[in-house]
Amino acid sequence: MEIKSVTASENKKTPLPSDEESSRGLLPLAGWVGVIIAAPFFLWVPLGFTGLIPSMIDVFGVVGLRIPAGVTIAGLLLAAVGFHRV
C-alpha cells in the first residue's frame, strides 16, 4: 500500500459563490451604502459634544437614543457584509 503526499500545486481551490464577478460589484456597493448610513451619526456625536449642533440627547431624549443607535448599527452591519472580502 502506497501513501501519496499532496503538494500545494495539487490542491484545488473551490470557488465560492461570492467569488463570482457579478457579486464583486454589488457587495462593495452595499458596504459603501452602510458607511454612508452610519457616517452622519458618527459625525453628530463630536459635533454635539462641542455645542455646534444640538446633541442627540437634546433631539431624541435618553430613551430615544435607540433610534440613531439602531440605524448606526444597521449601517455598520451592512458595511461589514459588503466589505467582508476586502
Q: What is the pLDDT of residue 6?
A: 62
Residue 25 domain flag: no
Domain extent, residue 61, equals 30-86
Residue 72 domain flag: yes
Residue 15 domain flag: no
Q: What region, left, alpha or beta, does residue 78 occupy, with left being phi > 0 and alpha being psi -120 to 50 degrees?
A: alpha
- In percent, the amount of the chain with pLDDT more than 90 equals 66
Total residues found in the chain within this entry: 86
Span 64-76, average pLDDT:
95
Residue 20 domain flag: no
> For the segment 16-43, what is each residue's pLDDT rounded down to a tens digit?
555 555 556 889 999 999 999 999 999 9
Number of domains in the chain: 1
Residue 76 domain flag: yes
